[in-house]
Amino acid sequence: MRGRLIAIGDIHGCAAELAELLAALAPGRDDRIVLLGDLVNRGPDSRGVLELARAHNATALLGNHELRLLKYRRTGDKKYIKETDLDTFEKLRPADWKFLEAMPLTFEEPELDTVFVHGGFLPGTPWRRQPAEVVTRIQVVDKEGLPAKRADAPGAPLWADLWDGPPFVVYGHTPRPEIYKRKWSAGIDTACAMGGSLTALVLPERRVVQVKARKKYYP
């Protein structure tokens, strides 16, 4: 593998923090950047994040927030979005929508036996066949063995605690104060929009680079 593979957790409109993180990483022409989804909403500058992503030729994975906006755009049905998404919805321009429409669910680096995804995977079924509703949203596995949100299934095990690789999975979506490392996974959403930090995991060495949020943008 030439260069580094740089994964960055949920940015959620924190464009200033993303710019600072990218400056610290100083990506070269052989480096690749994978943004783990949820680039938009919550923070102050979703469009700025999308512009930075394009300027750095980053691969951006689909998050549940992008999925919500895309579903609303296709259907006009407000059941798909939250009131707070409308601000982003109205600001996005055609180039932004084109970028969102092109977001893949996963990114795979076979040389590292590593897969990148927004939320995670349901253990026990082939990861390549899992739909957007699962891989962008899973946090825990409920009593019926189905993917669920942490808040909806108290005490249910984290999918990452049940995940036996290979592959190694790098994901975001479940915000925590620190990154969550397991033998076969690393969760790197460190809640930037909520006043935490924005985290990059640099492969192959698995080095962590972080910048602190400038403020708490979202409760």
Please state, as a whole number, how many other Cβ atoms lie within 10 Å of the Cβ of residue 207: 12
What the block records as the tokens of 130 is 């899992």
**12 belongs to the binding site for Mn ion (CB under 5 A):** no
The enclosing H or E element of 5 equals strand 5-8
Query: What's the angle, vertex CA 147, arms to CA 188 and CA 80, rounded to 5?
Result: 85
CB of 124 to Mn ion, least distance (A): 22
Nearest to 122 by CA among 108, 142, 106: 142
Cβ closer to Mn ion: 38 or 45? 38
Q: Identify residues 94-153 at the interface with Mn ion (CB under 5 A).
A: none
Among 59, 64, 185, 210, binds Mn ion (CB under 5 A): 64
Instruction: Compute the distance between CA of residue 140 and CA of residue 159 in angstroms, rounded to an integer.
Output: 5
Instruction: Name the token pair of 127.
Output: 């990861």
Residue nearest to Mn ion (CB): 173
Q: Give the shortest CB-63-to-Mn ion separation in angstroms.
A: 5
38 binds Mn ion (CB under 5 A): yes
Residue nearer to Mn ion on the CB measure, 63 or 147: 63
Cα(59)–Cα(69) distance, integer angstroms: 19
Options 173, 196, 200, 211; binder of Mn ion; rule CB under 5 A: 173
The piece of 33-41, 77-85, 93-101, 190-198 that touches Mn ion (CB under 5 A) is 33-41
- Residues in contact with Mn ion by CB under 5 A are 38, 63-64, 173
